[in-house]
């Protein structure tokens, strides 16, 4: 089959042109002074995206590596861990916690809803010694966001460490690591950054380091070890890697960070918000239903659309790919055949590309007999896309 | 500092032009039909490089991930594991084995020597229930090779599973996975393949799978899990990845495999042999000493050179990088300040590039006061480089 | 200003991904055996696109070089030249003819119409010794096509040589150089081929060569010389270039030709026809007027849209570029401020990209107060884009 | 055949990595604001390389286009033109002058020598009304340079306009356009700039513009016209190109200029001088003869080596390419089979790459039976390459 013309998925997503150029640049030795300097500087750039003064660890595998490393590093048998579940990834994180022998307390809501901070507070009160609260900021599988700005401070007030999966929210949603008291965050570059997958972007607070060091079961001498990075790389003066970094991915992520920082982080987030709002407006105007229970919990990275009754999601998706060259995502996990997901990340959040996703979905459904008003959808989306940038800027607290 | 003009290191090494182009191609969705097809086909290409009919697993992290996964998958507490140590990497592998609670038996030789199969046999006889023999084919840190073609069959005859670290030997040395009875091999693409790091190329025999499945401690639901790849990806009909693959690295490795297969595997190995022999001839003619105790155990991927007395390896190396733009490797681990390593992998094994490594080292030493005959070295190397290809082809048994 | 997100212009247009990769590949010596072989093979590929057995000359400058070379090579003072004018480029070609001292006979129609073969016949009858008929196949500035399939044979029957400007029609319109009796054709790679500009793709029949050779004023020893290519390159056995070829452009054009030939020439033309028909349907459904007097003379490469009364074309175009990142073309020459031109060439003729052009124009006009029904336009375009490929295949005579 | 591993030719030569990246970046519309801005800025960068305040014209074809445009623009029938001939390109320039009907006066020396300013002065005195002096700064075919710093001012003192072919000297030799009174210079980007061919870099003084305007035969409305660029582009406020620029080549040349300017022009020239001196030292130490009669007239871009008696240049060159993957240049024109030319431009002037050229030539000759001391050559070259940068910096007057 031909290469796709558009990759409007839940990620990996289309990279920025400069990301492609950086990926295609010469491969150099990881101890070359140029690479060492780039790697160190990249940590600083990533810290700026997270708005943190904490350590950044660039683990050399896709974000699931960072998440597993976080769980195994921070949590040990007998710990009480409050896991907030509003989607597939939240549920999966609990599996690691249970596997580690934690006393797992789950606050769970249907996957079209967001966690209510009041429920979190109740759980914290009911479990006064809870060591960890884990939460997914942006649930890519269902296109929803949780109120991390409330959950973080709340958990901290109760003395818990906060592990935040921000894989798909970094640079797409407002995110304030230090201000919100997030101890261990993990993001992926193949989402809103529009870089390559293959790297976990991790931040670790001093409190989190102390907890990991105190954990005799925390991985050491392992690909899963955060401590190796702390002890060999950071404390060793950033001269020795625990293992060979993925040179090309590092180059690509570096270019993606430059794109965000040159655009300005707030403006970059605003771009994603606008694209998401336009897509939602389009979806509704086409006569389709959004999956999230309300628009204010809808994610900036992907828009999840409930498949109309009788529609076979995977068939429609495959036909859209073949006939129109547009790659969309179906649902994921339990929701696989119930949702379509329209990605609008990085370059796909710019310009009029959200219209392509809407038209592809709309026409794909129409080709399968569904009644869809593509024209109305495009007009509704355009109305949003034509509004000025500052309408979408994050509000500072 | 400026970008290096030459990266003649122990890896990551200069990629092929087509590898750079593939790395710089558009990032696509991992479930795009084009990517799925490429990923599946790549497994077949890698199998051809290994000369195996066994399963290939493409783990999405640099080779140390595959090695750790192999150890954790195959070995459990109480197992007797015979670990062959002729260098830094062999020694490190033993650390995992010990950590896993294995009854560790090490056959060790000085790091400038190769393992003697007779010693292995003695160890096997002395430990009749040994479950595993682990061995490094090509010890990149010291530029030596072990007689894997003898060790593999020997271990099999004694009923042990063989774990072979072939990180830097794949496509650079003669390697026959099935013929030699290697159960679990791990290679890296950033060595002789001249691709990007970031992927572990793993082969797993049926016997090895059986052992992993039987191991209750084998990682499951983990980035370190071979079983996840077997159960979700392979047995699931190769439609679902256990986690997001590193799309760009996969594209790059695919291009690297094409380069080898279009050249012909034997011719590709011969190219490395010639470059290595030329480099060794040059080193000796310059008046320097090879680190390996004899030439017949010297590796094809890098040539390890003993630093002359009084020479500060890291200073010379840094000066060569700064003055001549040539990046060489020092030693590694315990040998860090005792060796120089000249890489000749992929494109650096072609053409006259070995001369650049020789001249850089020679002039770098001369700049620091050492007496070196660069001219003699270049002439000796040229004599080898001007010989016909077939003088370097691997001999079929 | 930021890079454009979409380049939907009259050309240069977005290149194919493989074209970008080829342009970015290493620059090699023009006499390297690899380059010589590529150059020779490219002539053959171009000949296939032209459906010709005649000589192909790859002049190393954008298409205007080939056109000027054609005029100066074929036409001399006193020759009667019938120049067909239906647009800006046709008019300009006449300026060269007049400058060369030709007895210029022009058959001219308004720029929203096509040449009527009956008028050509009348001119040929009235000028029985006419040496040359010159015609533009696809008038990019006004988005119209002339009936070259009738004009060519007609001119030949009257003994005239035919010079055809097929700059923007090659691979976008049905074109049969030999069957239609076209003696000297000139195309550009930056239009439907979606390659880089910088090369003129020229075909020269035996009759045309004879005429050029017989012309004492034909450029010789000049960048403008077709004869130099014939005598030094072609007749010299294709071993010596008259001057240094533009290596990178040649690589890019080669990749573009591969794209067309692998797609299949007819299918490639059909793709352009479909995109053009969809765009026209969209324009009309939005409530706007096409510039061409009738749809059957509308071009496949760009759709020319009449600017609504009171609209300032250049302002709207600049705003669309700035607000939406979409680059459209205004008119050109005399028509500059009267038209918008929506390009749909190469990758922009695939997938749903024509919708982006429609939405950009429609919203841009709406932003300036025009009444435009973007939704209706998109729906009308989608109806065409969802039809099967074979509905757009060229009909063989 | 395989791609070359090294392109150490007289040009086109290996491009800088950033040049490759720029060539492979997206093709955009020539009237896109980003491209317009880049084009205008590039003129300024080129002016800095020429050290001129005069107009820069970027003609969109390889340097021979600019040279022909210069001749046809400045010289008309009856003009006395003093053409200095010390090589093939100088001789060729005279053919245009003669063809234009000039009264051609040639000052000619054997092709292994440089023009003596005293001879030029004699010619100027003997031809008091001479309108033009034309001279090649660096004769790439024979690897020699002429004393342009003396010839320019001398010609100006006698009231002549100076046309300087600096195709291969720009950024490789010291060049001071305004200080030396050069009215019309033409350079190529595929030489010391290590960019793509396909653009002529031209500077035109006010005096030269006046002369061109006054020439009724100067090309107008032509690909060969400098005036079109002056009147449409420059005087029109740099908003309208006379024809479509070669977008990709412009991007590539822009990146090449950035490389030079970031390195510093003097340091960039010094790099070429060092490489050339090292190559010459190597050639002599190998026992071979330089073609230039003395080292002080040897060029910085290529080193011309006299083929030893009995050696078949083209056979050796082809063998070196096939066996070692190194592309060298033979002679050119009349000298084709008498010389080898070793290029050291751009990245090939850095690092130890000159050794590769020496070893390739030396071993190639040795393979054909010649007695060559490659080792001595490499040592002699290394001695030069190990000297500090400032030993090679141009001396300011």
How many angstroms separate the CA atoms of A183 and B83, rounded? 40
Quick check: D17 contacting A, CB < 8 Å? yes
D33 and C1 within 8 Å at the Cβ level: the answer is yes
Contacts of C329 in chain D (CB under 8 A): 29, 31
Helical segments of chain C, H only: 17-23, 33-50, 63-74, 88-99, 117-126, 148-157, 206-213, 226-228, 247-263, 265-285, 313-324, 353-367, 374-385
Quick check: A27 contacting B, CB < 8 Å? yes
Contacts of D25 in chain C (CB under 8 A): 20, 24
Among chain C residues, CA nearest to A383: C363
Quick check: D29 contacting C, CB < 8 Å? yes
Taking 80 as the threshold, does the pLDDT of residue C396 lie above it?
no
Judge residue B235's burial from the number of C-beta atoms within 10 Å of its C-beta, 0-12 exposed, 13-18 middle, 19 or more buried: exposed
* Contact status, residue B151 vs residue B107, Cβ threshold 8 Å: no
Q: Is the peptide bond before B16 cis (omega within 30 degrees of 0)?
A: no
Among chain D residues, CA nearest to A18: D25
Nearest to C374, CA basis, from A274, A340, A282, A368: A282
**Strand, coil or helix: what is D82?**
strand
How many angstroms separate the CA atoms of A83 and A71, rounded? 11
Sheet containing strand B339-343, strands side by side: B289-290, B302-306, B339-343, B329-330
Taking 70 as the threshold, does the pLDDT of residue D138 lie above it?
yes
Contacts of C122 (CB under 8 A, 6+ apart): none
Q: What's the confidence (pLDDT) of residue B390?
A: 85
Q: What's the confidence (pLDDT) of residue B396?
A: 58
Quick check: D210 contacting A, CB < 8 Å? no
Contacts of B93 (CB under 8 A, 6+ apart): B67, B71, B83, B134, B136, B163, B165
How many angstroms separate the CA atoms of D35 and D250, rounded? 9
Mean pLDDT of C215-226: 98
The conformation of residue D296, written as its DSSP 8-state character, comes to G
Mean pLDDT of D30-35: 98
Mean pLDDT of A384-395: 90
Taking 70 as the threshold, does the pLDDT of residue B397 lie above it?
no
Q: Which of B1, B12, B18 to mutate to test the interface with A (most CBs of A within 10 A)?
A: B12
Contacts of D396 (CB under 8 A, 6+ apart): none
Q: Is the peptide bond before B12 cis (omega within 30 degrees of 0)?
A: yes
How many angstroms separate the CA atoms of A384 and A387, rounded? 6
Quick check: C25 contacting B, CB < 8 Å? yes
Taking 70 as the threshold, does the pLDDT of residue B197 lie above it?
yes
Q: What's the confidence (pLDDT) of residue C292?
A: 98
**Strand, coil or helix: what is A349?**
helix
Quick check: D33 contacting A, CB < 8 Å? no
* Contact status, residue A360 vs residue A8, Cβ threshold 8 Å: yes
Q: Quick count: other Cβ atoms within 10 Å of Cβ D335?
A: 22
pLDDT band at D389; cut points 50, 70, 90:
confident
DSSP conformation letters of B154-167? HHHHTT-EEEEE-T
Q: What's the confidence (pLDDT) of residue D396?
A: 58
* Contact status, residue D249 vs residue C248, Cβ threshold 8 Å: yes
Contacts of D355 in chain B (CB under 8 A): 355-356, 359, 378
| D contact residues 242-261, partner C, Cβ 8 Å cutoff | 243-249, 252
Quick check: B197 contacting A, CB < 8 Å? yes
Contacts of D25 in chain A (CB under 8 A): 17, 21
Of B32, B60, B68, the CB nearest to A327: B32
pLDDT digit string, tens, across residues C231-265: 999 999 999 999 999 999 999 999 999 999 999 99
**Strand, coil or helix: what is B70?**
helix
Percent of chain B beyond pLDDT 70? 99
pTM of full prediction above 0.95: yes
pLDDT digit string, tens, across residues A201-229: 999 999 999 999 999 999 999 999 999 99
CA distance C14 to chain B (A): 14
Quick check: C3 contacting D, CB < 8 Å? yes
pLDDT band at B334; cut points 50, 70, 90:
confident
Beta bridge partners of A289: A306
Contacts of B24 in chain C (CB under 8 A): 21, 24
Q: State the Cα torsion D360-D365-D369-D371 to the nearest 10°.
A: -100
Q: Which of B263, B364, B378 to mutate to test the interface with D (most CBs of D within 10 A)?
A: B378
pLDDT digit string, tens, across residues B17-74: 999 999 999 999 999 999 999 999 999 999 999 999 999 999 999 999 999 999 999 9
D17 and A25 within 8 Å at the Cβ level: the answer is yes
Contacts of C379 in chain A (CB under 8 A): 374-375
How many angstroms separate the CA atoms of C173 and B377, rounded? 63
Q: Quick count: other Cβ atoms within 10 Å of Cβ D78?
A: 10
CA distance C170 to chain D (A): 18
Judge residue A53's burial from the number of C-beta atoms within 10 Å of its C-beta, 0-12 exposed, 13-18 middle, 19 or more buried: exposed
The conformation of residue A183, written as its DSSP 8-state character, comes to S
Q: What's the confidence (pLDDT) of residue B395?
A: 74
Taking 80 as the threshold, does the pLDDT of residue A396 lie above it?
no
CA distance A86 to chain C (A): 34
Contacts of B323 in chain D (CB under 8 A): 386
First-last CA distance in chain C: 49
Contacts of D261 (CB under 8 A, 6+ apart): D45, D48, D49
Q: What's the confidence (pLDDT) of residue A129?
A: 94
* Contact status, residue C170 vs residue C121, Cβ threshold 8 Å: no
Whole-angstrom CA distances from A151 to A52, A166, A395, C13 are: 17, 13, 18, 49
How many angstroms separate the CA atoms of B106 and D359, rounded? 47
Mean pLDDT of B103-114: 98
Contacts of D231 (CB under 8 A, 6+ apart): none
C62 and D222 within 8 Å at the Cβ level: the answer is no
Q: Which chains touch A (3 or more CB pairs under 8 A)?
A: B, C, D
Q: What's the confidence (pLDDT) of residue C395?
A: 74
Q: Which of D15, D21, D32 to mutate to test the interface with A (most CBs of A within 10 A)?
A: D21
Contacts of D162 (CB under 8 A, 6+ apart): D132, D133, D134, D135, D151, D152, D155, D156, D180, D181, D182, D183, D184
Say how far residue C313 (Cα) sits from the centre of its chain: 23
pLDDT digit string, tens, across residues A75-100: 999 999 999 999 999 999 999 999 99
Q: What's the confidence (pLDDT) of residue C131?
A: 97
C363 and A347 within 8 Å at the Cβ level: the answer is no
Taking 80 as the threshold, does the pLDDT of residue A1 lie above it?
yes
Taking 60 as the threshold, does the pLDDT of residue D397 lie above it?
no
Q: What's the confidence (pLDDT) of residue D251?
A: 98
Quick check: D236 contacting C, CB < 8 Å? no
């Amino acid at each position: 089959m031909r290469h796709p013309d558009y990759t409007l998925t839940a990620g990996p997503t289309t990279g920025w042109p400069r990301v492609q150029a950086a990926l295609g640049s010469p491969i150099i030795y990881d101890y070359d002074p140029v690479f060492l300097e780039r790697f160190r500087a990249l940590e600083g750039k990533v810290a700026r995206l997270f708005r943190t003064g904490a350590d950044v660890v660039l683990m050399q595998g896709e974000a699931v590596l960072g998440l597993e490393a976080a769980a195994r590093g921070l949590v040990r048998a007998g710990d009480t861990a409050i896991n907030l579940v509003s989607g597939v990834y939240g549920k999966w994180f609990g599996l690691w916690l249970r596997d580690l022998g934690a006393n797992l307390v789950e606050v769970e809501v249907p996957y079209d809803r967001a966690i209510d901070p009041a429920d979190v507070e109740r759980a914290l009160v009911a479990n006064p010694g809870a060591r960890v609260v884990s939460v997914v900021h942006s649930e890519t599988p269902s296109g929803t966001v949780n109120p991390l700005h409330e959950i973080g401070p709340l958990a901290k007030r109760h003395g818990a460490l906060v592990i935040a999966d921000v894989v798909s929210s970094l640079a797409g949603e407002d995110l304030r690591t230090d201000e919100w008291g997030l101890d261990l965050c993990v993001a992926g570059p193949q989402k809103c950054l529009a870089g390559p997958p293959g790297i976990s972007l991790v931040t670790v607070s001093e409190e989190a380091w102390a907890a990991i060091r105190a954990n005799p079961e925390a991985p050491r001498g392992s690909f899963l070890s955060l401590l190796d990075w702390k002890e060999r790389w950071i404390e060793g003066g950033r001269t020795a890697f625990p293992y060979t970094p993925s040179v090309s991915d590092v180059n690509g992520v570096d270019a993606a960070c430059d794109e965000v920082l040159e655009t300005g982080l707030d403006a970059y987030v605003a771009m994603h918000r606008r694209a998401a709002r336009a897509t939602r407006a389009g979806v509704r105007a086409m006569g389709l239903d959004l999956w999230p229970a309300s628009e204010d919990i809808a994610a900036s990275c992907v828009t999840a659309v409930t498949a109309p009754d009788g529609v076979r999601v995977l068939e429609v998706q495959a036909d859209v790919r073949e006939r129109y060259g547009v790659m969309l995502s179906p649902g994921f996990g339990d929701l696989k055949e119930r949702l379509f997901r329209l990605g609008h990340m990085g370059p796909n959040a710019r310009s009029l590309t959200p219209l392509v996703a809407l038209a592809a979905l709309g026409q794909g459904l129409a080709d399968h007999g569904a009644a869809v008003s593509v024209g109305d959808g495009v007009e509704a989306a355009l109305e949003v896309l034509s509004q000025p940038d500052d309408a979408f800027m994050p509000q500072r607290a």
